[in-house]
Amino acid sequence: MQKNRLQFFIDKLFKLFIMTCILFVSYLLLIVTTFATFKVPSDSMEPSLLPGDCILVNKWIMGGRIFNLLDALAGKEVNISRLPSLGKVKRNDVLVFNFPYPERWDSIGLDLMKYYVKRCIALPGDTFEIKNGHYHIRGYNNVLGNIQQQDYLRLQFDGITKAPSAYEQGICFNTYPFNDSIQWNIVNFGPFTIPAKDMEVPMTPLNQILYHNVIEWEQKKYLTLKGDTVLLNDSVIQKYYFRQNYYFVTGDRVINSQDSRYWGLLPEPFIVGKAVRIWKSVDKSTDRVRWNRILKRIE
């Protein structure tokens, strides 16, 4: 009798163990292929996203990423591939991605512990400009980003330029690529063509400056300029074909957002997915749940 009870108890434990393993594996598969959740830490996406919002990220838009997790956590170079996608990124989508410049803003690297959420403004192949604070894509006439915030930034910029120092106002108006020969700023930027996979560009001194970071990342070689000649290590190159797609992303609160205006291009392999819903929101100052934001669609 005791033996039967013991066997019954062992069978129950074994079944519970198997069910737990199945649920855990299923959860991991969902995390890899379908969704992820992230907590918004800053105000750079206000008013669309507030600090304390917990957002649901759809991975099917681009396909879940497959790579060696242990190597990535160790800081090693990894090859990132994707599962089949069920859609594509559009302008004005809100994206979650690994910040691509964790050590220096002139060197791309994957940091699995650092995630950003920003709005996609320009797609691969787009030619992007900022004119008087407003975002523009050549051939595209719809609204990009938060127009009210862009207007506000332009007004602030007009005042800053009359002040002794922009940095005293807490705003940096110099932008990517931070080169004296390219006088871009946060209200007048570009034109800047966003690289698409297989797109060809001539290797002029200007393009050496604009695409220096991504070419070195793709090739794992040094891109230098000698006079008007562009060198990839010791080889002269006159044109370049990009291996990846890239995106230009900004925060909705443009006056307080560390985004592509400052650090440059976002490589497609670094994108986790599209933020689609707020599933939970807690006011960080009061620890109270913001019930009116629960299940709110992110637009």
pLDDT in tens, 247-263: 999 999 988 889 999 99
Q: Is the pTM of this model over 0.75?
A: yes
Half-sphere exposure of 92 (CA within 13 A, CB side): 14
What pLDDT is stored for residue 79 in this prediction? 84
Whether 167 and 22 share a structural domain: no
Whether 45 and 61 share a structural domain: yes
Amino acid in position 90: K
- Domain containing 271: what range? 35-123+148-173+248-286
Whether 85 and 9 share a structural domain: no
Beta strands 35-39 and 266-267 are unpaired
Distance of CA 175 to the CA centre of its chain: 17
pLDDT in tens, 183-204: 899 899 989 999 999 999 999 9
Please say whether the beta carbons of 211 and 240 come within 8 A: yes
CATH number of the domain at 51, please: 2.10.109.10
pLDDT in tens, 130-186: 999 999 999 999 999 999 999 888 887 776 555 444 444 567 788 999 988 898 998
Beta strands 266-267 and 271-281 are unpaired
Strand partners, 226: 229
Whether 44 and 3 share a structural domain: no
Residue 98 lies in a domain: yes
Spatial separation of the C-alpha atoms in residues 175 and 159, rounded to whole Å: 18
